[in-house]
Chains A and B, each alone.
Chain A
Amino acid sequence: MSIVASRTNTPARIVGQIAKWLVLGFFFAFTFLPLVWLLISSFKTNLELQMRPFALPETWQFINYVKAVSISGLPRLFLNSILVSSMSTALAMLVTSMAGFVFSRESFFFRQGLLNLILAGVLVPIIALMAPYFRLTNALGIYDSLWALVFTYTAINIPISTFLIYGFMKTLPAELEEAAIIDGTGFFGRYWRIILPLTKPGMVTAGTFVFLFSWNEFIYALLLTSRPAVRTLQLGIRFFNSQFFTDYTSMFAAIVLTMLPTIIIYVVLHEQIIKGMTSGALKG
């Protein structure tokens, strides 16, 4: 927005500017400093970390990084996390966009009740679901596989995903499809060629939630897998826990190592994501 240039610098504006940058700066510090701290701490010894957490390391403990790298299969865990998170996101997007399309465009018996039921799922505390999910996963025969995680993560995120995508689809007017219907486009065509592309902003938002959830999830990643070959990053990071002691500094080194590709992927994708969010929108 280039309107700002036309304004003169009244005292109120200057105060406004200062306030604005204070706010931005405050949140910047809040979010960025932990990362810096994490990086520095990853070069300390555990005792140093405990007793002098905010000083610079006495000697830079590169051995922490050696330890982090040498735990078996860190790259494999990373790959698994990417696979599981991507698959969960893709599946969730597919399933909930299909449902959102039907909920927002068709009317049928139970429509409102069903919708409310699904959305109410956002209230369920996930820890309480350990016993049922374990049984379900075993009953389906997918215990100890990536699919167990994919289905679980997709399912857990159905309420929030539906919430966001359906909410977005509702704002797309019916007229958009009328021309297509007259042209003879079928049900699937309306969904795939018209509504879905326009829902990108909603899908991107929902997708971000699902991806992050799957990426950070730990309890079910542990519960539903056994072999190291199907384990995810969060378990690898806990590798540094043990019964009476946690090797935080090596854990931080592992986190830093995995953070870098994560951040790169995120930064690269984010541009795409934001482009996605703002294109196809109701501009002008």
Chain B
Amino acid sequence: MAETKTKSKKKSTKKVDVFKEHGVSPELALDMIRNMLLYRRFEEKVEEAYAIGKIGGFCHLHIGQEGACVGSIKPLRDDDYVMSAYREHTQAIAKGVEPNAVMAELYGRADGASGGKGGSMHIFNAATRFMGGHGIVGGQVPLATGIAWKIKYRKEDSVVIVYMGDAAVNQGGFHEALNMAAVWELPAIYVVENNGYGMGTAFSRVSKTDMASKAVPHGIPSSSVDGQDVLATYAHFRDLAEEVRGGGGPRFVDLKTYRFRGHSMSDPVSGTYRPTAEVEKKKEENDPITILRDHLFAAGHMDQEGLEAMDAEARQISQGAADFAEASPLPDPSQLYANVWAEINANGRLFFDGRGEE
């Protein structure tokens, strides 16, 4: 496999300690690569499971975007909130949802994070404040703004990070939400995982202005960061979260990244709207795992053996999640009508198909 076998090409000529530069300890950096490897192997296992029919429906993989994920979530506190769109399996894990529960949800089993009721696009975990998992492009942006409203309302000091794809910034709701966040100075960080393509459409074809400028008309400070460089991303979000937490109002981040797979499992990796050469080049030169690996190797914080051991563990956890999911039962049919309503009123009929009544 490319990530662990290729000989490190980078030879650092300057004696710059990237870890010190970004304020990341070696232990933390090792933790980061461990996480990224897990997310990579997990998503590959998801891909395989989908391909042989265990996972159905829509499935959007995060492969290639692990650095963006780790770098932005790692600086958060447990009581911060994370909300995302539908490419969220690894973000859920990063926020603390068990890989077993995520995989079981993808398999549509009773032990899934949403009891098998949600699927790939609707992974929820209230306990870890992972707020889903939303299927309508841009729909999560106003929702997250409401979470930020609650934080301000209750005078708390958490922050909420909401992820969206590059195409979402053209939705009306995005602009409405950012405007309100700015007017009311809400503690929200709006993060575009900018991989350059909204499904099959390059961002440049649907926008006259560049990404970082999208929040400027709303008066929200914007920044850009290379999501494939997990150390830089981490540092950036660590500082940003503190700014927001301290009452600095909302922020907008153009988090540049790249996906190594198609938009979803129905979309080819390359050859239609992305030239194969482009994808291959990115995989070769812009893989967040290999980039960090090279830094770690160069600084002597890790060696090949250590990397492979970590990778084996990642594969093991991923396989374990697949086994767990496979063994988990399908949701009981008696649950079909469960949880449509949070309150079954004492009077009146709530279901109208003659089957929903208890």
Q: Do A and B interact with each other, yes or no? A: no
